[in-house]
A and B are shown apart, each in its own frame.
Chain A
Amino acid sequence: ELKVEQNPLFLSMQEGKNYTIYCNYSTTSDRLYWYRQDPGKSLESLFVLLSNGAVKQEGRLMASLDTKARLSTLHITAAVHDLSATYFCAVDYGGSQGNLIFGKGTKLSVKP
């Protein structure tokens, strides 16, 4: 059974600081996704990581994937309040267009 673990589950940061969210998964997978969810809202796709060593950046967020370690990271640089949200990683369960298994999410709160 594929398990996806995120840590930390809660993260309170000050504006301007850097931090990393970790996502470990238990079995081989082709794709790893990062999503953002604001309270009461849907899931917004941030990144899709397809291969070992993949790194993608968008604004203050950078995601990377190490398939050998079964680890993905989401790095936040110089956090701002607008980044406050819950961040989920999700792993493709199987097949080229597979079903996603989600981590529990990391609730990020960025304080002034």
Chain B
Amino acid sequence: EPEVTQTPSHQVTQMGQEVILRCVPISNHLYFYWYRQILGQKVEFLVSFYNNEISEKSEIFDDQFSVERPDGSNFTLKIRSTKLEDSAMYFCASTADTQYFGPGTRLTVL
């Protein structure tokens, strides 16, 4: 069964460093999303992406964040200068009849 994949599974970085989180959505899906979940809290929408551009973004998705589809399969989330409060699980999702979530990347900012 096709699934959304994400790499790395865990990323540790120093405050102020740039990180790139990678996702491979399910191949015939057209809508892609990033969500984050701070430990023990609810899942929060960050951004949606369709037709090679952002279709909507939340207040969390400020100028430090960017998304890109560099090729036909990958979908990336970049955080330019990480802060301590960016520590969370980041989930990628893609949509057909429902949103399918990837396994997540745990980002730890020290």
Contact = CB atoms under 8 A, between A and B. Distances in A.
Interface string A76-112: 0000000000001010011101111111110000000
Interface of A: 33, 35, 41-45, 48, 88, 90, 93-95, 97-105
Contacts of A43: 43, 91, 101
Interface size class of B (residues with CB under 8 A): 20 to 34
A99 B103 contact: no
Interface of B: 30-31, 33, 35, 41-45, 48, 50, 55-56, 58, 91, 95, 97-104
A33 B99 contact: yes
11 contacts: A35-B101, A42-B91, A42-B101, A42-B104, A43-B91, A45-B99, A88-B42, A90-B43, A97-B31, A97-B50, A103-B42
Mostly, the B contact residues are: strand
A100 B34 CA distance: 10
